[in-house]
Amino acid sequence: MIQVNQLSKTYNGTTVLKIENLEIPKGQSFGLVGNNGAGKTTFFSLLLDLIQPSTGNIINNNIQVNNDEGWKTFTGSFLDESFLIGYLTPEEYFYFVGDLRKQNKADVDALLSKHEEFFNGEILKNKKYLRDLSKGNQKKVGIIATLIGSPEVIVLDEPFANLDPTTVSRLKKIIKELADNPNVTVLVSSHDLQHTVEVCDRIVALNKGEIVKDIQTSKETLQELEAFFAV
């Protein structure tokens, strides 16, 4: 589904990301772990064509992302709060994104009612604009908005950060469900090794912009990763 070729990103002579080759097959749930500054967000930004690669390219479903915008029709993503429109209510935001993905109100409503448990009664009909919601609740809105229109590729940057324990376990359930669908490729990044191991088939660890581990998840994965990051 996603093919990375000779990709690198350099700022003022400092290379922040360098991936020779990486292939993510369709239907895989892919976890990206690493410390601050390892290049996780840079990689996702490149995948979403928000920044330009210094060399190389990324191909998403046969579309080279920095040349053709066709990937937008089947890719859903949430990187941070800058994906939210602060002056809208959550409902308005969902419908806005729905409109852009050619989903009518009923489609969006169906998705929202499916995830009512995830919202925990704190999102819908709350008379608050997105800018006035807490960080965690903003994240909930962003994550669910990603799912509108059943995209085939879902990109979530640090989805577990800022969430309360209950919501984290509910989110894991949602991601696992997505991962079980053979048509959906999920990409998740996180600092939290355990969460990532739980929801992903495959884990790639980045360090200073380079891939240092690439493992299929098994019982020993968590120990292996913990040993690697423990200094």
Partner 1 sequence: MIKKFIYLEWKAFSRSASFGANVALKIIIGFLAVYFSLIFVAAGAGAFYVLKKMNLDPLLTINKFLVYYFLFDLAMRLLMQAIPVLNIRPLLTLRIQKKTIVHFSLGKTALSFFNIIHAFFFLPFTIVLLLEGYDILGVIFWHLAIIGLIYINNYLNILLSNIDKLFVIFLGIIAILGGLQYYDLFDITNYTVLFFDGLYAIKGLFLIPVLVLIGLYYVTFNYFKSNLYLDAGLSNKHDIAKTENLTWLNQFGTLGTFLKNDIKLIKRNKRSKMTIMMSILFLFYGFLFFSGGVKSYNSPVMHIFAGIFVSGGFLFTFGQFVPSWDSSYYQLMMTQNIPYKGYITSKWWLIVIATIVSTIIASFYLYFGWQVYLTIVVGAIYNIGVNSHLVLLGGAFTKTPIDLTSTSGAFGDKKAFNVNAMLLTLPKLLLPVGLYWIGFSLGNPNIGLALVALAGVIGFIFRDKVFILIEKRYKIEKYKTISAYKQKS
Q: Which parts of this chain interact with partner 1 (CB under 8 A)?
A: 48-52, 69, 72-73, 75, 77, 79, 82-89, 91-92, 95-97, 99-101, 125-129, 131-132
> Nearest approach, Cβ of 82 to partner 1 (angstroms)?
5
Residue (99 or 177) nearer to partner 1, CB: 99
> Nearest approach, Cβ of 49 to partner 1 (angstroms)?
7
Instruction: Name the CA radius of gyration of the chain, rounded.
Output: 17
H helical segments located in 63-185: 90-100, 105-114, 116-119, 135-146, 165-180
> Nearest approach, Cβ of 86 to partner 1 (angstroms)?
6
Residue (129 or 228) nearer to partner 1, CB: 129
> Nearest approach, Cβ of 67 to partner 1 (angstroms)?
11
H helical segments located in the chain: 40-47, 90-100, 105-114, 116-119, 135-146, 165-180, 193-199, 221-229
**Structure tokens, 117:** 């448990």
Go through 125-144 and write b for each residue having 16 or more CB atoms within 10 A of its CB, e for each that does not.
eeeebbeebeeebbbbbbbb
What's the CA gap between 39 and 211, in Å, rounded?
A: 10
Residue (51 or 215) nearer to partner 1, CB: 51
142: left (phi over 0), alpha (psi -120 to 50) or beta: alpha
Residue (89 or 221) nearer to partner 1, CB: 89
Count of C-beta atoms within a 10 Å radius of residue 152:
18
> Nearest approach, Cβ of 164 to partner 1 (angstroms)?
21
